[in-house]
Structure 1
Amino acid sequence: MKPAGSSVDCLPAKLVRDSVSALSPALMNIFNISLSTGVFLKVFKDAVVWPILKKPGLDPSTYENFRPISKVLFLSKVLDKIVHGQISAHMNNNLLLDVFQSAFRPNHSTESALIRVLNDILVASDSGSMVLLLQLDISAAFDTVDHQILLNRLGSWVTGVAHKWFHSYLSNHTISVQIGDCASSSLPLPWRAPQGSVLGPLLFSIYLLPLGNILNQHGLSYHIYADDCQLYVEMDEKNAGSKLAACMADVKGWLAFIFLKLNEKKSEFIVFDPHNHHGSHPVCDLLTLYPKQCVTSLGVKLDAGLTMAPQINSVVRSCFYQLRRLTHLRQILKRRHLESVIHAFITSRLDYANALLIGVPDSALNRLQVVQSAAARFLTGTHRRSHITPVLVHLHWLPVIFRVQFKLLTFVFKALNDLAPSYLSALLTPYVPTRTLRSADLLLLHMPRMRLKSQGERAFVHAAPKLWNSLPIGVRQAPSLAVFKSRLKTHFYTLAFGQ
């Protein structure tokens, strides 16, 4: 079990929650004094690190196999969250954050980032272009943040007592390491983004803000999620090679200036080729890396042919492994609890980034359906030769193909109602007929034409309007996200099971 809080916390989360009515006045006074004087309490700056193996079975004698889990006082996180809400709202309301930075922002996620990246690649491939995707790995990015550079950057938008508070927040942090009952002495931490804090990730996004400007100056498409940066370029584009080389030189120089380093050994690239050429390309020759046939982007495996087969294979393998692990729990847990466990370990894997699977062959999706059916049989004790449809009906589980469409359409509704990133909303255009028709009031979307079913028709810009326009008007006109999901599930339930 991973530790849930700091071992030195005299007011842990449970105690605060149980006594919140009595403690609220005192805590509010402490937080207000901190914010009004620009002083972050010293006791809030002490972090305890618990080293956790990255994966079971790794050699514990190798330091690189451990992930440091930083724990700070619960009240420190509460104050962090208060400030995070204010600074985040300020940055978002004034459009100060990079449009293509999806980490730690309201309505943004790894899935929204992946949808946009894959959309751009599929559209380019549909036009016949080869696309190079380069994933940059920044060494120990969070651990080498220079506080003075960060404070200077914050100074562009935060002044006075607020800036003084951030200076206090970043200064004089200490860290100790605890393994079991043994703890080291505390040491000063003169740099890095505060780990274990709520504010740390947002501050790191601010620290990396100029990176997007550099990539924009060279005309490259990109997406950033925390310290994961991927940039992509159409290789048939004029001067693509020189643009990429110049961009990489500027990125390396800027990273060195802010005390970060590009790890070229862990950086990798892949070429998506609609024509399946196997020869080298001049653009590839400019990179000191070998092209991969499959890369992992934000937890999703992308292959050079964009078949999504490696991703599906990985999900199937992982889900069946988890099902085998859960076998001994079936005799212990009540059914409702077992279903919750199955959703946590199986359904979550089936659903993660499944909007990317729109348009893949039914034979590929059937492999995921086998997993869902196995989970349903496991939960209900149904024999493997028994028909699975009545079981799914009883459980109210939508089949995999409808779960894929459900996820994509949820993003469409969010994008149309300012609940999704602007980079997804920009891909959707309302349908405007050339003359006044009744269809003008049906909330339809314009569907751009694509050449290839296996490429462009899978892109969000095409698949989303196609699915959206096929929905009943009552579903499209849902007044809220909750109502939309309810009506959409009912609609798909009827299509899937005829009930």
Structure 2
Amino acid sequence: MLRGAPQGSVLGPYLFSLYVHPLLDLLNSFAGVTADMYADDPSIIVKGQSREDAIPTANMVLKKLHAWSQENGLANNPSKCEAAWFTLSTHTESDYDREGKWPLVVAGCQTPVMTMGASRTTKLLGMDLDPQLTLNVAATKQCAATSQRISQLRCIAHKEAGPSPHDLRTFVIGYGASKLRYGSERIWAVATDSAKNEMQKTYATLARIVSGVPSTVDPESALLEANMPPLRVLCLRARLSIFENTRACQTDWMRRPPPEPPPRAGFRISPLPRDELYAFVDAYTKDYGISESSPREERFFRSSIPPWFAASAHRVIIGVELPMDHSITKRS
């Protein structure tokens, strides 16, 4: 294989991410532009006061993207590119570009920009986005997709010929609830109460399949009988996990050096002034008769590289070469 990354493997997306990492650095270098990538799906966010400000910047970024792809042997697929105009305003007249003054061009092909009131929606990693980012459309479509799987799960949920309750619960959570909960931590933050209630009703139907109770049983009892936590608890738990990961990235926890041991008694936490430190060292060397010409042992580490500095790990030398006295090993 001369180029490309193997598909269907765990290592493939990682190798591809390493290869295209300079592209993200290039796109994020522009003012008002934020770029991110999940596997081979890039997402570019351009901020602007109006379409007249945002579209020219987006076209410039897309030209840089196309040029970088050609230089590095990658091909862009304009047919899979989608664009959306998100705004806090509820007015729709200014969102449309009826005269075609501000077209969005990707690799020589014009891409339509989804605005408020459009018949189609834009998808990001399988989630439908609406112009006001309420994610109600995503919640409705995921409930509909889960309902199709519920019909399939009911076909195998037989008390005598079907699987055991434990296996059925595992299968329902893995096949049915996973479809409903995809992106639920994001949906739960901005969706309306009607969309959340629809998701909870669908989740309660999955619990009734696991427990085998009739449809007249209330959702709380069905969840308790199926030993399944409520959907709102799962969504809040997932949102907390996202918050912790985001905070860890912002505070640089992943690359922080290991914590120092607690200070001893009489340990001075605040740093010493340089003059005071030099005076202390001079007095110490004078008391013990140490001069500049005194013999010194060779340093164990040849370079002062901290253990958490991975970029210079190849320069670290562990230990020193000591001369061996072969007379000790000779037999008499």
Aligned residue among 183, 204, 212 for 1:353: 183
Aligned-pair distance for 1:337?
0.6
Looking at structure 2, the residues matched to 239 and 247 of structure 1 have their Cα atoms a distance apart, in angstroms, of 13
The residue type paired with residue 113 of structure 2 is P
CA contact (8 A) 1:355 1:407 kept: yes
Matched, 1:325 2:325: no
CA contact (8 A) 1:354 1:404 kept: yes
Match of 2:71 in 1: 257
- 1:307-318, aligned counterparts within 5 Å? 307-318=134-145
Matched, 1:391 2:218: no
Match of 1:90 in 2: none
Aligned-pair distance for 1:322?
0.7
Aligned-pair distance for 1:196?
4.2
Looking at structure 2, the residues matched to 316 and 244 of structure 1 have their Cα atoms a distance apart, in angstroms, of 34
Match of 1:449 in 2: none
So what's the TM-score if we normalise by structure 1?
0.44
Match of 2:275 in 1: none
- 1:80-479, aligned counterparts within 5 Å? 189-219=1-31, 220-236=33-49, 239-278=53-92, 279=94, 280=96, 284-287=102-105, 288-292=110-114, 293=118, 294-331=121-158, 332-357=162-187, 358-416=189-247, 418=248, 422=249
The residue type paired with residue 340 of structure 1 is T
The residue type paired with residue 290 of structure 1 is P
CA contact (8 A) 2:13 2:39 kept: yes
Further displaced range: 389-398 or 255-264: 389-398
Q: Which structure has the bigger radius of gyration?
A: 2
The residue type paired with residue 17 of structure 2 is S
Gaps of 5+ in 1: 1-188, 427-499
CA contact (8 A) 1:218 1:243 kept: no
The residue type paired with residue 310 of structure 1 is V
Q: Deviations over 1:323-381 (max 9, x none)?
A: 11122211210111100010011111222221112142221100011111111112222
Match of 1:167 in 2: none
Q: SS at the partner of 2:79?
A: coil
Looking at structure 2, the residues matched to 359 and 243 of structure 1 have their Cα atoms a distance apart, in angstroms, of 28
CA contact (8 A) 1:269 1:291 kept: yes
Looking at structure 2, the residues matched to 398 and 359 of structure 1 have their Cα atoms a distance apart, in angstroms, of 21
Aligned-pair distance for 1:392?
1.6
CA contact (8 A) 1:222 1:229 kept: yes
The residue type paired with residue 218 of structure 1 is F
The residue type paired with residue 289 of structure 1 is T
Looking at structure 2, the residues matched to 321 and 266 of structure 1 have their Cα atoms a distance apart, in angstroms, of 26
Q: SS at the partner of 2:113?
A: coil
Looking at structure 1, the residues matched to 53 and 88 of structure 2 have their Cα atoms a distance apart, in angstroms, of 20
**TM-aligned CA distance change 1:197 to 1:321, over 3 Å:** closer
Q: SS at the partner of 2:6?
A: coil
CA contact (8 A) 2:46 2:57 kept: no
Q: SS at the partner of 1:326?
A: helix
Looking at structure 2, the residues matched to 342 and 258 of structure 1 have their Cα atoms a distance apart, in angstroms, of 44
So what's the TM-score if we normalise by structure 2?
0.64
CA contact (8 A) 1:365 1:400 kept: no
Identity %, equivalent residues: 23
The residue type paired with residue 248 of structure 1 is L
Q: SS at the partner of 2:229?
A: coil
Aligned-pair distance for 1:385?
1.7
Looking at structure 1, the residues matched to 250 and 69 of structure 2 have their Cα atoms a distance apart, in angstroms, of 26
Further displaced range: 320-329 or 338-347: 320-329
Gaps of 5+ in 2: 254-332
Q: Deviations over 1:208-262 (max 9, x none)?
A: 1221122123221111112111101122179534332222211111111112122
Pick 1 or 2: higher relative contact order, CA cutoff 8 A, min separation 6. Answer: 1
Q: SS at the partner of 1:193?
A: coil
Q: SS at the partner of 1:337?
A: helix
